[in-house]
């Protein structure tokens, strides 16, 4: 099973030379790197959120094996869908699926299903991959697309993910792909997003879940971020550090209708 890029030439440059040039401009070279269990990174077009993603990934030591969790924007496929074989074709070259890790996750819970349809058109995972390849050309990918879940289901999936990573026995980075508030004024978006970000900083997955749903915050990656926090806590996380928060108005100049972007490192 080979997955072709769905959003190259749209969200990011599809030509490898132009893509590398773009990433050179988005990724700071001076950042001190720390070991991390998880990161939260945005997934908009690179002109809008690429600098936040670049700063976030530059702040961590990126291991070879990476699990990327993203929201299901299209509604296709299983509620929690992992690709467990094959590879992703990307501008920087082919990325192999980590079959061992994917099947270990599948073995932990029936809530996760082997499914390729959910991945075919989904951009939220794909836009993270060039950043990861920039640092780790030898990376393996375990991609998981997630629809709306109850907190209890998030808990089961997060614990299953942590159990599989422990069994795997090698360093694994969890990447939760999420943008923050969508299409509200900068003032409203900043106020709402600060509520959600407080919960991430507090390493409070249930608090985050309830805050986002209770305040109608249009954070698209709430399920992936909740699951990543649960897994990271099971793996020993003690802190979450905000790298940067901004919004699309910084690029577009329109502060009446913004999308918020946040980058976190969880260690």
| pLDDT tens, position by position, 49-82 | 999 999 999 999 999 999 999 999 999 999 999 9
Q: pLDDT class for 222, splitting at 50, 70, 90? A: very high
pLDDT of residue 1: 85
C-alpha dist (Å) from residue 180 to 69, 170, 191: 15, 31, 11
Residues of the chain with pLDDT > 70: what percent? 100
- In total, how many domains does the chain have? 1
C-alpha dist (Å) from residue 130 to 112, 135, 238: 25, 9, 28
Asked if 78 and 149 touch (Cβ cutoff 8 Å), the reply is no
Does the predicted model carry a pTM greater than 0.75?
yes
Q: pLDDT class for 177, splitting at 50, 70, 90? A: very high
Query: What CATH number is attached to the domain comprising 234?
Result: 3.40.830.10
With the C-alpha atoms ordered 234, 240, 243, 248, is the resulting torsion angle positive or negative?
Answer: positive
Name the residue range of residue 98's domain.
2-266
Q: Token pair of 110, please? A: 């029936």
Asked if 106 and 70 touch (Cβ cutoff 8 Å), the reply is no
Q: Quick one: average pLDDT of 94-103?
A: 98
Mean pLDDT of the chain: 97
């Amino acid at each position: 099973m080979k997955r072709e890029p769905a959003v190259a030439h749209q969200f990011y440059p599809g030509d490898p030379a132009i893509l590398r040039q773009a990433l050179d401009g988005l990724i700071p070279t001076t950042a001190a790197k720390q070991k991390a269990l998880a990161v939260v990174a945005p997934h908009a077009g690179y002109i809008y959120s690429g600098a936040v993603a670049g700063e976030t990934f530059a702040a961590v030591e990126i291991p070879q094996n990476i699990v990327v969790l993203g929201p299901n924007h299209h509604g296709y496929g299983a509620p929690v869908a992992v690709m467990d074989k094959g590879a992703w074709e990307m501008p920087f070259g082919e990325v192999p699926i980590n079959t061992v890790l994917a099947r270990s996750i599948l073995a932990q819970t029936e809530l996760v299903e082997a499914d390729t349809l959910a991945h075919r058109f989904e951009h939220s995972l794909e836009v993270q991959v060039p950043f990861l390849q920039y640092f780790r050309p030898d990376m393996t990918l375990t991609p998981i697309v997630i629809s709306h879940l109850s907190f209890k289901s998030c808990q089961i999936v997060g614990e299953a993910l942590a159990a599989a990573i422990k069994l795997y026995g090698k360093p694994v980075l969890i990447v939760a792909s999420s943008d923050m508030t969508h299409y509200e004024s900068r003032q409203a978006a900043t106020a709402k997003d600060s509520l959600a970000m407080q919960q991430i900083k507090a390493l409070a997955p249930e608090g985050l879940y309830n805050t986002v749903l209770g305040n109608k915050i249009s954070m698209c990656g709430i399920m992936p971020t909740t699951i990543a926090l649960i897994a990271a806590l099971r793996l020993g996380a003690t802190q979450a550090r905000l790298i940067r928060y901004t919004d699309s108005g910084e690029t577009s100049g329109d502060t009446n209708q913004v999308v918020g972007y946040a980058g976190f490192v969880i260690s």
